[in-house]
Chain A
């Protein structure tokens, strides 16, 4: 390549590169630096070496929050993917304006801000007058303050999250399903394959790339769970919903420990990178089989 071409390339990529370096790389380096200091929330701190990392390793509440984050991921990622696919298969069989309306209904929660979602569900699940309490009472015998209960809190936060965000997955799956040519199904039908066989041998393999994408997006998104927990339970009761970002918030904003909060953030960052790369590799190898 001659120099002129190089210069042109630089000219075109330059603005992006500058923005990327300033907005992403620089703060990341700063974050790493911060994790080696005892800085408060705002302002610089003294260099303390690996002290924050040693503390991280011995921090019981931090491990509890890692456990809770995984628990939440388990409760949301695969269920929301399956529900998204199932709904997409159903919506896909509808047609015309009716399909649009059904699709809009399922997508509606996704465009609501989190605060509105939380208010709706706090009202629905209120112990004294919530309209969902008769259903809960049917199984438990008495109304349950779900967000104040150690065992109910996290599954309920997961349930609300799925209700809130499932519309987006549904949309991705619909797009994937529409990409599968009708010819395959016609050919399979000629060969005598029923609906179930068509689903297992045609739909599932062909929708796999979208499924892998949804799973990965969901994994990254749900590892970063915060808003719903902050608004509903603040990590309680008895640490039952303390997730990693909530713990970072506590360290930074409530305890004024910016350095240690940076360390926990980095741990979360590392966790997301490792898990999402691993998951994507596993899913890709399955897809190529």
Chain B
């Protein structure tokens, strides 16, 4: 009798299991989050899979930048793309122009409970081309100035509030760099001088502080803006020429200069916040650190910013089924509702209920630099802009040699301008 009972129970359990498996919708997910924030995303994905037994996300992390976007574009064109992917809003016009992205209709968004009013209008509209929605914003991310409190304090550049002081204005900033160097700091400012994308973020922030549009009415650095761009680039090159910033430093080496205590300041994306947080937590950093908005070197505050978003690839010949799309949008909605945790990766949540929450307002160091969102300058909305775009490539090709004293800044700006203008026409 007992044996029979066990058998019946086991059969029932087995049945339930297989039925559960049948009803489960799988969502193939691609992202490019390989930095400090990738660890946070993995935790989010695990949590989602645990909380949503009827949907299973199969996630793959690919290499950021050109490799990711080339793969996405070619795989979507032959119907082999994922069901959902992360996508930079800066690149959205370019992605739409190559037919890589599928429109998400207002009805589909409404059915999933995704509402525009939960995002700032500028952020929401950045996910549109010609009034059609192609993505849902997930965060706003930017570059910030990381600083070593101990080193700044020694040079009298730290206020009583623990924030850097005396860095605003080009002269003051350069004087601060000089002071740090004189006080024996090996690297006053560490940036990725070998990486075009990083130099773009700094350059575009500084242009924004002078209200110089990089692209306006289809013209790249038109008229007097070209000279202003040259002057800005010269300023960036002078940090290397004067020995404040080491030349030709790759991304990881630049971070290492800061974490090893050799660099007093470091300009990098907010996505490296977890790297420093985790190091400090484990007692491996050896100094007090902080992060603030990029100092105002010119007229007013402005910082380059971009957004991670979620998009559905336009898989040619393999249209996504309504059930699958529903599951995908469920994932998107869930991610946004849980984006307070994503903020621990340094980013500012795009989802306003998360950004306005009390918890976010006290989260450090995010709360200190969150003001940058008000004065953020986003990449020009154009098919030449965004991650892995012609602008980024031109930065690597022309601006990196200029910053490192290999190429005359005038020639660098002119070459970049000519090349990009040629692509627009």
Give, as a whole number of angstroms, the nearest-CB distance from A54 to chain B.
14
Beta-carbon contact of B397 and A239 below 8 Å? yes
CA distance A237 to B195 in the complex (A): 11
Residues from chain B with Cβ under 8 Å of A149 in the complex: 406
Q: Which of A18-26, A90-98, A249-257 is the interface stretch?
A: A249-257
Beta-carbon contact of B248 and A148 below 8 Å? yes
Contact of A32 with B by CB under 8 A = no
CA distance A127 to B418 in the complex (A): 32
Closest to B253 in A: A128
Residues from chain B with Cβ under 8 Å of A150 in the complex: 401, 406-407
* Chief secondary structure at chain B's binding surface: helix
Counting contact residues on chain B (CB < 8 A from A), the size range is: 20 to 34
A254-B388 in contact given A150-B407, A236-B401, A237-B406 (Cβ < 8 Å):
yes
A256-B404 in contact given A127-B248, A148-B248, A238-B412 (Cβ < 8 Å):
no
Residues from chain A with Cβ under 8 Å of B288 in the complex: none
Give, as a whole number of angstroms, the nearest-CB distance from B408 to chain A.
10
CB-CB contacts of B188-220 with A at 8 A, as 1s and 0s? 000000100000000000000000000000000
Q: Which of B74-100 contact A (CB under 8 A)?
A: 74, 77-78, 97-99
Beta-carbon contact of A42 and B77 below 8 Å? yes
Beta-carbon contact of A148 and B77 below 8 Å? no
Contact of A235 with B by CB under 8 A = yes
Contact of A84 with B by CB under 8 A = no
Residues from chain A with Cβ under 8 Å of B418 in the complex: 60
Contact of B232 with A by CB under 8 A = no
Contact of A167 with B by CB under 8 A = no
Closest to B248 in A: A145
Contact of B38 with A by CB under 8 A = no
Beta-carbon contact of A250 and B393 below 8 Å? yes
Give, as a whole number of angstroms, the nearest-CB distance from B407 to chain A.
5
CB-CB contacts of B240-259 with A at 8 A, as 1s and 0s? 00000001100001000000
CA distance A60 to B423 in the complex (A): 13
Residues from chain A with Cβ under 8 Å of B78 in the complex: 42
Give, as a whole number of angstroms, the nearest-CB distance from B262 to chain A.
12
Beta-carbon contact of B74 and A41 below 8 Å? yes
Counting contact residues on chain A (CB < 8 A from B), the size range is: 20 to 34
Closest to A239 in B: B397
Contact of A137 with B by CB under 8 A = no
Beta-carbon contact of A148 and B194 below 8 Å? yes
Contact of A100 with B by CB under 8 A = no
Residues from chain B with Cβ under 8 Å of A236 in the complex: 396-397, 400-401
Partner of B77, one of A41, A237, A250: A41
Contact of B275 with A by CB under 8 A = no
Residues from chain B with Cβ under 8 Å of A60 in the complex: 418
Residues from chain B with Cβ under 8 Å of A250 in the complex: 393
Beta-carbon contact of B419 and A148 below 8 Å? no
Q: Which of B356-412 contact A (CB under 8 A)?
A: 388, 390, 393, 396-398, 400-401, 404, 406-407, 411-412
CA distance A279 to B389 in the complex (A): 40
Contact of B336 with A by CB under 8 A = no
Contact of B66 with A by CB under 8 A = yes
Beta-carbon contact of A238 and B98 below 8 Å? no
Beta-carbon contact of A238 and B398 below 8 Å? yes
Give, as a whole number of angstroms, the nearest-CB distance from B114 to chain A.
29
Partner of A256, one of B73, B400, B412: B73
Give, as a whole number of angstroms, the nearest-CB distance from A51 to chain B.
13
CB-CB contacts of A126-170 with B at 8 A, as 1s and 0s? 011000000000000000010011100000000000000000000
Beta-carbon contact of B77 and A254 below 8 Å? no
CB-CB contacts of A14-43 with B at 8 A, as 1s and 0s? 000000000000000000000000001111
Beta-carbon contact of B419 and A40 below 8 Å? no
Residues from chain A with Cβ under 8 Å of B401 in the complex: 148, 150, 236-238
Partner of B406, one of A40, A148, A253, A256: A148
Closest to B407 in A: A238
Give, as a whole number of angstroms, the nearest-CB distance from A127 to chain B.
6
Residues from chain B with Cβ under 8 Å of A115 in the complex: none
Closest to B408 in A: A238
Q: Which of A35-79 contact B (CB under 8 A)?
A: 40-43, 60-61
Beta-carbon contact of B423 and A43 below 8 Å? no
Residues from chain B with Cβ under 8 Å of A222 in the complex: none
Contact of A81 with B by CB under 8 A = no
Give, as a whole number of angstroms, the nearest-CB distance from A117 to chain B.
19
Beta-carbon contact of B415 and A41 below 8 Å? no
Beta-carbon contact of B390 and A254 below 8 Å? yes
Residues from chain B with Cβ under 8 Å of A127 in the complex: 248
Beta-carbon contact of A237 and B74 below 8 Å? no
CA distance A212 to B424 in the complex (A): 47
Residues from chain A with Cβ under 8 Å of B396 in the complex: 234, 236
CA distance A255 to B78 in the complex (A): 18
Residues from chain A with Cβ under 8 Å of B253 in the complex: 128
CA distance A12 to B390 in the complex (A): 52
CA distance A41 to B418 in the complex (A): 24
Q: Which of A214-252 contact B (CB under 8 A)?
A: 234-239, 250
CA distance A43 to B247 in the complex (A): 43
Beta-carbon contact of A254 and B66 below 8 Å? yes
Give, as a whole number of angstroms, the nearest-CB distance from B94 to chain A.
9
Beta-carbon contact of B390 and A255 below 8 Å? yes
Closest to A257 in B: B423
Beta-carbon contact of A238 and B397 below 8 Å? yes
Give, as a whole number of angstroms, the nearest-CB distance from B311 to chain A.
17
Contact of B70 with A by CB under 8 A = yes
Residues from chain B with Cβ under 8 Å of A148 in the complex: 194, 248, 400-401, 404, 406
Beta-carbon contact of A254 and B248 below 8 Å? no
Give, as a whole number of angstroms, the nearest-CB distance from A275 to chain B.
27
Give, as a whole number of angstroms, the nearest-CB distance from A55 to chain B.
10
CA distance A276 to B379 in the complex (A): 47
Q: List 5 A-B contacts (CB under 8 A).
A: A41-B73, A41-B74, A41-B77, A150-B406, A250-B393
Q: What 7 additional pairs, Cβ within 8 angstroms, besides A238-B411, A253-B74, A254-B390? A: A42-B74, A42-B78, A150-B401, A234-B397, A236-B401, A253-B73, A254-B66
Q: List 4 tightest A-B contacts by C-beta distance, closest first.
A: A145-B248, A237-B401, A42-B77, A236-B397
Chain B residues near A (Cβ < 8 Å): 66, 70, 73-74, 77-78, 97-99, 194, 247-248, 253, 388, 390, 393, 396-398, 400-401, 404, 406-407, 411-412, 415, 418-419, 423
